[in-house]
């Protein structure tokens, strides 16, 4: 694996050892960024099931201002930090070991808003849509944010749900990539804000 383009172009990336993590191939990664970029002028990126951090690092290399990397596996956290150091992007990144749902609650409490989100959960998990709706409910996405979901091609997600609309879908062997565009209405945002004010806060550790 390597960084394909941008400030860290050509730098090799470590993979997470073992068979529990499925890295996004360079071919698929290049296709993803041709659909959503290919370059950016600032903004925040969230790599929620980061693995080796390849997608978030590619986004930083291509111009995103700040990246948040989340993974539950200690080996992944170690590899993400090593890859950020190798690409000289540590100053633009925060790395946390946490479960995805708990991490979203923590980031929501910190009032983070993201312009690009990568969701590449283990294929046994089929809840990317639930995580997207949680981000919507907690007002964590910028207007016109892009969410990229990588998942088992045998699974189907709805083309439209909440304030998300699928704009692209591509299949590479047993991997499917769906790109969603987030476009909230004023009324929906106001309702979500009201809900947040009345909901009970949950303590989340980093």
Q: Residue ranges per domain, the chain?
A: 26-198
Digit-coded pLDDT (tens) for 160-187 = 999 999 999 999 989 999 999 999 864 4
Cβ atoms within 10 Å of 150's Cβ, excluding its own: 22
pTM of the model: 0.87
Angle at 11 between CA 9 and CA 14, to 5 degrees: 135
Do residues 8 and 57 touch, judged by C-beta distance below 8 A?
yes
Percentage, residues of the chain above pLDDT 90: 79
Beginning with the edge strand found earlier in the chain, give each strand of the sheet holding 164-172 in spatial order. Answer: 93-97, 66-71, 44-47, 114-119, 141-152, 175-182, 164-172, 160-161
CA-based nearest residue to 82, from 57, 117, 61: 57
Digit-coded pLDDT (tens) for 98-157 = 999 999 999 999 999 999 999 999 888 999 999 999 999 999 999 999 999 999 999 999
pLDDT at 19: 55
Identify the DSSP state of 121: -
- CATH hierarchy code of domain 26-198: 3.40.50.150
pLDDT at 124: 85
């Amino acid at each position: 694996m390597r960084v394909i383009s941008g400030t860290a172009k050509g730098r090799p990336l470590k993979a997470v050892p073992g068979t529990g993590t499925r890295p996004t191939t360079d071919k698929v990664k290049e296709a993803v960024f041709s659909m959503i970029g290919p370059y950016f002028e600032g903004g925040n990126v969230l790599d929620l099931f980061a693995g080796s951090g390849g997608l978030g690092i590619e986004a930083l290399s291509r111009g995103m201002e700040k990246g948040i990397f989340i993974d539950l596996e200690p080996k992944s956290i170690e590899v993400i930090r090593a890859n950020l150091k190798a690409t000289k992007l540590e100053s633009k990144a925060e790395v946390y070991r946490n479960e995805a749902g708990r991490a979203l609650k923590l980031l929501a409490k910190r009032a983070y808003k993201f312009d690009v989100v990568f969701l590449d959960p283990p294929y046994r998990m089929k809840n990317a849509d639930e995580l997207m709706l949680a981000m919507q409910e907690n007002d964590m996405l910028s207007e016109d944010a892009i969410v990229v979901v990588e998942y088992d091609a045998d699974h189907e997600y709805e083309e439209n749900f909440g304030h998300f609309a699928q704009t692209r879908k591509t299949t590479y062997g047993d991997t499917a990539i769906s790109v969603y565009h987030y476009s909230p209405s004023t009324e929906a945002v106001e309702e979500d804000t009201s809900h947040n004010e009345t909901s009970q806060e949950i303590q989340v550790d980093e």
